[in-house]
Structure 1
Amino acid sequence: MVSLNRRILAFSTCTMAFSSVSAVFHFYYVRVFLNRFHIEEKWFHTAQVLFLIWNAINDPLFAYIQDNVSLPFTRSRREAILYSAPLFSMAFLVPWFSWEGGAVTTGMHLIVSLCFWDTIFTYIGLAECCLFTEISKRAEDRLKLVRFSQLGSLIGSSSVLILEHISDSLESYTLFQVSCACLALFSWMLMTFTGYNAYTEYDLKNMNDAHGESINCDNEGRQSNEPWFKLLRQLFTKDFCLFIVTNFLQEFHRTFLANFIVIICDQLVSSDVVSPHVRRTFYGAVSMAPKTLVVFCAPLVGRIGYFRAIRYNFIWKILGGMSMFLIGNNHPWCLMIFLILDSCFCNATFSLFNMPLSDIADRDMEKHNRKHPLSSMVFGTQACFVKPTISLSPMLVVSILNHYGYTQLKNGDVLSVDLNQLKHAIFLLVCVYPVCIGALQLCVWSGFSIRKETTMTIPN
């Protein structure tokens, strides 16, 4: 019998692998294609639109497959990760190696990179989220999963810091490519460990019922005779809809910070004030700080409940953005502190979002007397509405930046750009994004009703 601690360790290694690779992908891909491959704006937007459409299709598709199709790579959550791990590593490597050719080739490169990445990212991500729900139903165990998975994520997210220093912030691009290849191999090894050890409580129940004769019949227990549209209609409760809106806005904010924090600092923080070494360390700290916060503050979340912890973050966004606006853009150190705090609280709060989703899946299972929670459908359906922000947020920001001359600036045509106007626009984005998003989230999240089930006692 696989112990709970070993299963938590297996889940944490998957999170470590997942975060180490995804942190690098989201931190660098926009910068690589804009500043190194010089992709044209129309191709950038085309790729993002196609990416958005594929995002909307693949989440419910893979959710249905994982919950209702019995194949070797869908029979259990752990096997879904085991068989997809090598493809995940391959998808990560595609963007960093240029396809020789003109604007069309570069555009196709970005399209293939984004769609291939999101296909495997979605499939493994769904399996990982379902593992979170199904390893244990106890709230204390789930918060323990959050805490230790964030410890794994903290170690994994150091990949950005390491690559920033190895590649000298992409100046040594060959070293960056070699480092990415090593990182891809490392993540594959970690996910293989997950694939052999991350049993859910339903896997273990099947093992006991079969007296060791079979351990891969989890999918049979998940299959439902009800049509998918009826299951979908049952899932769309008030709480589920409120969560989708809240998460949509959260992902919009997270994507903005992940993709543009380097561009923000390049324009608003002078190299005379902050040295390149400090700047690279800062970029690495942006990825690592949220995980550190979750690891040390998990007992506090256990005492106050995730509902209030999430709500406090929305209040911070409003107050923090307004304070930064009043301080102004002539204080680079204050700006860097604000950016790291904003990213820290935004991503740390996002790491708690699996808990309300798991509660939604549990409530649906109890309400409709299911033998097994529809975890994949819950996570996949909400992702169908949320993940388009990964395309919408960069498209909006790139359009605003190019309106103020960022394209001419990165192409070396400095004289045709009003730098003060461009910097002012970037600073307004930094301040207005959290204020507007936080205000909307605070209103929406206040209607979430599962808050009474969120408070728990967690040992330190």
Structure 2
Amino acid sequence: MKDIKQKQILAYCSLTAGFGLLSSAYNFYYVKVFLNFYHIQESWFQLSQILFLVWNAINDPLFAYYSDNKNFKILKTRRNMILYSAPFFSLSFLIPWFQWSTNPVIVGLHLIFALCFWDTLFTFIGLTACCLFTEISQDNEMRITLTRASQVASLFSSFSVMVLEHASNGLQDFQAFQVTTVLIAILSWFLMYYCGKNCHTQYDLQQMQQGEKSPDEVCHKRTGHESYWQQTWQIVRDINFISFVVTNFFQEFHRTFLHSFMAIVCDQLITADEISQSSRSTFYGGVPFMSKILVISIAPILRHFSYKKVIRANFIWKISGGLVMYYFIGDGHPWILMGFLLIDKSFANGTFSLFNLPLSDIADANMIKYKRKHPITSMVFGMNALFVKPAISLSPMLVVAILNRYGFSQIKQSTGDIPSPSVNPLTSTQLEDLKGTMFSLVCLYPVVLGTIQLISWSFYRVLNYRTKEVDV
């Protein structure tokens, strides 16, 4: 049994590493590439984000319901879902980095297709990964071990941004960037392929042991007798689910801002004379690494303090850290600013890495409450994504709209390979206003979002169904 658990952990970590290689790089670069290199018009950028938001709202619950309730070959097991979709996920990662045309309409269509194709595979594999986390074992100790082990694996994947930064010299050598993305996509596919061949849930293992079935004969058991709307109503009426979804929405809102705009903000607020491009590239690549170290460090704490208290501590940091940075330190200290961003992003990503634990508990509680033989894990995670993923579109839409009102569109059109000669440079006063707006966003975003999260998280009640104890 110990060997089986170790193999399951290794296979799950392989998926985490492959998935993280692509997602961290994609989220970090796609906004910057389309804004600064392809010079996408704001109207097309906003339209792409709206369509992306709509597709997000459709595909998550759709994939979730079919995953738990239908018997297509690709959905036969969680393992099969990873195996067959991995090569397409790697392909979707490459779409943004090879420009179709300089025509503004084609650039806009390029972003729309890239986002929707990416999110289709991201959702499909992401949901499956979350289900594997829940269904490999119901034991809380095993889940904590999985959380810690997957973060160790993610240390490897977190270097994708650093590799791309140094290979391309901060995107100055775009061809080198493109070549490196292809190599990363191939490596990611190989890692996910290994998971697809070797990762079984506890329910798969039960069929293999009791029925003497081979891995290829195992089939994920479906609920079958309930409609989509029945299962949806059962989930969304749960106060724990509502509390978690509100908290998670604003967590994703914050993370997306940091993913997409950290490099853009630092390039404007910190000059090359203060901190070199090489140092900044190392910093950008090191931030994901520090996030993983944080989760690995706090995982043992979860055995003594509940994840609810650990997550709540992060919201307190957001509020206090942002206020101190804005009112007492200011924007005149570049190294302190980078240190603040490092801590803020590490805490944001680290806390997000723990969110599988409460969602798994919600799925377990749903199975017990409605007397199921198998949890509707995909539906729980899918409904969460339905409400949370719009934040991925809304966050950059809001930030781009704010920054463009202060002249950011003029700056981005004067950068990249072919600067526009018709663009008037900003005056020194306008440039200072833009920098002040960026600094305010960096500091006050976490304050506002952290306050909302602290309130919503207070309604979450953790029930351990083995001991019948409630952690408040």
Aligned to 1:229: 229
Displacement after TM superposition at 1:411 (Å) = 2.1
Aligned to 1:320: 321
Aligned to 2:219: 218
* Matched AA of 2:333: H
Aligned to 1:391: 393
* Matched AA of 2:222: R
* Matched AA of 1:143: I
Deviates more, 1:125-134 or 1:276-285: 276-285
2:65, 2:379 within 8 Å by CA — same for their partners in 1? yes
1:204, 1:215 within 8 Å by CA — same for their partners in 2? no
Displacement after TM superposition at 1:22 (Å) = 0.6
Aligned to 1:71: 72
Q: Distance in 1 between matches of 2:22 and 2:177?
A: 13
**CA shift digits 1:254-295 (9 cap, x unpaired):** 000000000110111121110111111000111211101111
Displacement after TM superposition at 1:207 (Å) = 1.1
Aligned to 2:404: 402
Unmatched 5+ stretches in structure 2: 415-423, 468-472
Q: Does 1:342 align with 2:344?
A: yes
* Matched AA of 1:415: L
2:241, 2:362 within 8 Å by CA — same for their partners in 1? yes
Residue 74 of structure 2 aligns to a residue whose secondary structure is coil
Q: Distance in 1 between matches of 2:212 and 2:273?
A: 69
Q: Distance in 2 between matches of 1:391 and 1:92?
A: 18
Q: 1:351 to 1:216 in 2, by over 3 A?
A: farther
Q: 1:68 to 1:453 in 2, by over 3 A?
A: closer
**CA shift digits 1:122-160 (9 cap, x unpaired):** 000000000000000000000100001011111101110
Work out which of the residue numbers 437, 444, 449 in structure 1 matches 2:456.
444
**CA shift digits 1:298-318 (9 cap, x unpaired):** 101221110100000000000
Displacement after TM superposition at 1:337 (Å) = 0.4
Q: Distance in 2 between matches of 1:114 and 1:199?
A: 30
Aligned to 2:260: 259
Q: Distance in 2 between matches of 1:214 and 1:263?
A: 48
Q: Does 1:420 align with 2:420?
A: no
Aligned residue pair count: 454
Q: Does 1:198 align with 2:199?
A: yes
RMSD: 1.4
Aligned to 1:431: 443
Q: Distance in 2 between matches of 1:364 and 1:216?
A: 28
2:70, 2:224 within 8 Å by CA — same for their partners in 1? no
* Matched AA of 2:342: I
Displacement after TM superposition at 1:210 (Å) = 1.7
Displacement after TM superposition at 1:407 (Å) = 0.5
2:38, 2:102 within 8 Å by CA — same for their partners in 1? no
TM-score by length of 1: 0.96
2:159, 2:288 within 8 Å by CA — same for their partners in 1? yes
1:62, 1:123 within 8 Å by CA — same for their partners in 2? yes
Q: Distance in 2 between matches of 1:94 and 1:279?
A: 26
Aligned to 2:25: 24
**CA shift digits 1:63-99 (9 cap, x unpaired):** 0111111122101111100000000010000000000
Q: Distance in 2 between matches of 1:125 and 1:295?
A: 21
Aligned to 2:277: 276
Q: Distance in 1 between matches of 2:125 and 2:213?
A: 27
Percent identity between the two aligned chains? 51
TM-score by length of 2: 0.94
Q: 1:155 to 1:453 in 2, by over 3 A?
A: farther
1:75, 1:216 within 8 Å by CA — same for their partners in 2? no
